[in-house]
Structure 1
């Protein structure tokens, strides 16, 4: 009798057995889950390089700010100012290097705003320095009324343009000689070091006499004749000559499209410089 009572007490219905099985399965899954997760998603140490770089940048900025607070401000002409005086004004070596590179390429400061265009000079530095920038009016007068034909101008004439010093003037002439002349103003931006700011300054004051552009007779040119032309690689120049030798003279620009290594962008750029005689 007692045995039957215990048996009845411990007996489970089918629904209760299903519940027990489900519970056991959940327990097993909970136990093995951490090991499975570790297998499929192994531990990877946190990469702190980016964080370290950001912290170092913040520290560097704080050091620069502290250095600026200790700077000695005085009236100065930014053109060819010695490094020691830029340091005294509170600029760091990177900022000074950018200024010297700008000057080495023929750049000059004609107005206070020109200093702000140095990419390493931020708005805080410029605001701090601006009241002390002293540009002699006669020597650094903004020359905004000179109109210069960049296809015929010599160095002296080019230097009448705002922001164009001797270095840039020489670079413009060298590139003009390689091209055979400019056919649009935007080509000035292809000159190394002549940035968008300088281009915007000079663009309103230049004109182009397209009649001065020297054109190449593509049906007579040799690889050597094409050698200095900046828009074509040596392989492209050689391909133009070899294709002509094999197939005869070119009659129009479309004939050059048959050369696989000449894409439409290259053809667009060279079109103003070639003729078919």
Structure 2
């Protein structure tokens, strides 16, 4: 056993020489950085200029934060706490007057967007519909709101030649959706120029309204707005344009709002394969036409 250990830990002369050279190289590597740092002169740094710049920056920051932010914030708060109230008509009121009443720029922007879409304030309570006006602010403004009599009872104001203003009192106005043009539709309270144009375009695509409930299919008319319009509209189904699915081409029905591209193509292909339709029951044989679609298109079909 001892013999094997001796042979394992013993070195030849050549191996001892190599080990000695390795140790010398290792010692040199360790001593070189120490020697370099010993002979190299110590560098010195001057931080006085840097400290001066820091002091100037801190002084300017204190000045800016103390004046531009805190003081301006206090001015805004003071202005918000002490608005200047006066009697006003909220319709087309200049932004400067809204600011005097204590409204922020965001609140004024919401009001102006509402007016740009054809919105008007017919009575005091209409101002509460602006989501940026909370109940507290409305309670402060309400005593000063002064809407002219011409705006009441669905009143409309139009411009005449020479800048003169003429007022119309369209009391209990009722408009036929199928015969009214864009200007006539705007006499309905709650319908502005943009919405009137959408109604006319949708009516042209549809071929006319069969039920006034179809007005909810126009983009921008939700259940709340429809409830406010319902009592002011009627539908005369006489002018409704009919579709003959036995003769209509794809181009003639491609703009129809109730049918998708696949459904239109299926109607044409089924007619080519099985011949003319005898009635709406034949359309029930087309798998992609469900009962809801057939109910909607039934008033517009002839065979």
Q: TM-score, normalised by structure 2?
A: 0.61
Match of 2:129 in 1: 117
Match of 1:33 in 2: none
Question: Which residue, out of 233, 237, 245, partners 1:210?
Answer: 237
- Displacement of 1:232: 1.6
- Displacement of 1:186: 1.4
Q: Distance in 1 between matches of 2:297 and 2:268?
A: 15
Match of 2:191 in 1: 164
Q: Which has the higher contact order (CA 8 A, sep 6+)?
A: 1
Unaligned runs of 5+ in 2: 1-75, 155-169
- Displacement of 1:67: 7.7
User: Would you say the 8 A contact 1:117–1:197 is kept in 2?
Assistant: no
Distance 1:86 1:189, change over 3 A: farther
Match of 1:153 in 2: 180
After TM superposition, list the pairs within 5 Å mapping 1:43-82 onto structure 2: 69-82=81-94
Q: C-alpha deviations, 1:176-227, integer Å up to 9, x for none?
A: 1111111111111222223434322321122111111111111111221112
Bigger Rg, structure 1 or 2: 2
- Displacement of 1:229: 1.4
Match of 2:111 in 1: 99
Distance 1:95 1:109, change over 3 A: same
- Displacement of 1:71: 3.8
Q: Distance in 2 between matches of 1:267 and 1:231?
A: 9
Q: Distance in 2 between matches of 1:75 and 1:207?
A: 38
Match of 2:211 in 1: 184
Alignment RMSD (CA, Å): 2.7
Q: Distance in 2 between matches of 1:68 and 1:242?
A: 68
User: Would you say the 8 A contact 1:109–1:163 is kept in 2?
Assistant: no
After TM superposition, list the pairs within 5 Å mapping 1:1-277 onto structure 2: 69-138=81-150, 141-142=153-154, 143-276=170-303
User: Would you say the 8 A contact 2:153–2:172 is kept in 1?
Assistant: no
User: Would you say the 8 A contact 1:181–1:212 is kept in 2?
Assistant: yes
User: Would you say the 8 A contact 2:244–2:301 is kept in 1?
Assistant: yes
Distance 1:232 1:82, change over 3 A: farther
Q: Distance in 2 between matches of 1:65 and 1:225?
A: 63
Q: C-alpha deviations, 1:118-171, integer Å up to 9, x for none?
A: 344333333232222222222555244222111101223222211222222222
Q: Distance in 2 between matches of 1:166 and 1:96?
A: 21
Q: C-alpha deviations, 1:88-134, integer Å up to 9, x for none?
A: 43444554444333323322221122222234433333323222222
Unaligned runs of 5+ in 1: 1-63
> Number of paired residues?
213
User: Would you say the 8 A contact 2:207–2:240 is kept in 1?
Assistant: yes
Q: Distance in 2 between matches of 1:273 and 1:113?
A: 41
* 3-state SS of paired residue (1:210): coil
